[in-house]
Amino acid sequence: MAETEKSGNAFVETIKTIVYALLIAGVFRTVFFQPFWIPSGSMKETLLIGDFLFVNKMAYGYSYASCPSLILPRFGINVDAEDICGVFDGENTRLFGGEPERGDVVVFRHPVSGRDYIKRLVGLPGDRVQMKDSVLNLNGRPVQVEDAGVFEEMMQAQGPQRLRPRCQNGAVGEGGTCEKGRQIETLPNGVQHTILNIGPQQVDNTGVFTVPEGHFFFIGDNRDNSLDSRVPAVANGVGFVPYENLIGRADRIMFSSAGRSMLFFWTWRSDRFFKAVQ
């Protein structure tokens, strides 16, 4: 009888340990840092498909978007942050709110779909943003851009979604070298980062976007392969992003894998472990 009681107690303690661990992990993810896996190439070469990072949720304070979503289509699980914390939605405010800076790489909730996106913040409230001949213009002035050679990658399926890169050097066969024009862009506050281009696109020339109060304008660093604020959210873009939709700032890549799974150790990119996001 004593042995049965001990076994029962051990089982209960194990369950308690698992529950406590899940609660601690949930609090950690909700309050401090949220893991984020880069699924697409819209932020190349700053972020590559397969980069894994923690999003600093303390940088901008907290809103309903700070609650984690749990979306696992394979298992029929679709618990959205709004389902949990939607009661705090609607005022476009934040608790312990911090102001994002131009040039920050930010994870945010899409204004329509609610899915998490990651892009670079280029337009602050009141800014006038326009693209002219592939050059970002802010408040009537082009930002500084310098040529920085060519970005090269192999033409092959990338990541779990098996996405293939778009190339400036035309159709490239499997295993060939895919090239993109590479430049260094300097924003008005001095933030420098690389951008990529593959050639003239519709979004390389736009009208003037005036960023509303309490909203922000985001663009991907891979300029010709990014759905962002240059296209309205209702037209499958992003449009202006409300302040309350910001989740956090991407500061550092913790791990990176070029394969279909992080378990494929032979595809790990060791040179990107603990790399700062610039």
Q: Are residues 17 and 71 in the same domain?
A: no
Collapsing DSSP to helix, strand or coil, 77 comes out as strand
The CA distance from 224 to 230, in Å, is: 11
pTM tops 0.95, yes or no: no
Can you give the CATH number for the domain in which 53 is found? 2.10.109.10
Which of 69, 119, 256, 257 is the catalytic position?
Answer: 119
Q: Are residues 22 and 41 in the same domain?
A: no
- 36 or 46, higher pLDDT: 46
Q: Are residues 164 and 134 in the same domain?
A: yes
Q: Are residues 184 and 261 in the same domain?
A: yes
Q: Are residues 94 and 228 in the same domain?
A: yes
Q: Are residues 139 and 6 in the same domain?
A: no
Q: Are residues 18 and 125 in the same domain?
A: no
Which of 40, 42, 63, 256 is the catalytic position?
Answer: 42
Q: Is the pLDDT of residue 5 over 60?
A: no
The CA distance from 258 to 221, in Å, is: 19
Residue 133, Cα to own-chain centre: how many angstroms?
25
Q: What is the pLDDT of residue 32?
A: 61
Q: Is the pLDDT of residue 16 over 60?
A: no
Q: Which domain holds residue 235?
A: 37-276
How many structural domains are present in the chain?
2
- Residue 119 known to be catalytic: yes
Q: Are residues 41 and 149 in the same domain?
A: yes
Q: Are residues 131 and 4 in the same domain?
A: no
Residues 133-166 have pLDDT tens digits of: 999 999 999 999 999 999 999 999 898 889 999 9
Q: Are residues 5 and 88 in the same domain?
A: no
> What does the angle CA 66 – CA 102 – CA 135 come to, to the nearest 5 degrees?
125
Enclosing H/E stretch for 22: helix 2-31
Q: Are residues 136 and 252 in the same domain?
A: yes
> What average pLDDT does the chain have?
86
| Residues 202-218, mean pLDDT to the nearest whole number | 96
User: In this predicted structure, which of 35-39, 86-90, 221-225 has the lowest mean pLDDT?
Assistant: 86-90
- Residue 44 known to be catalytic: no
* Percent of the chain at pLDDT exceeding 90: 62
Residues 20-37 have pLDDT tens digits of: 444 444 444 445 668 889
Q: Are residues 10 and 116 in the same domain?
A: no
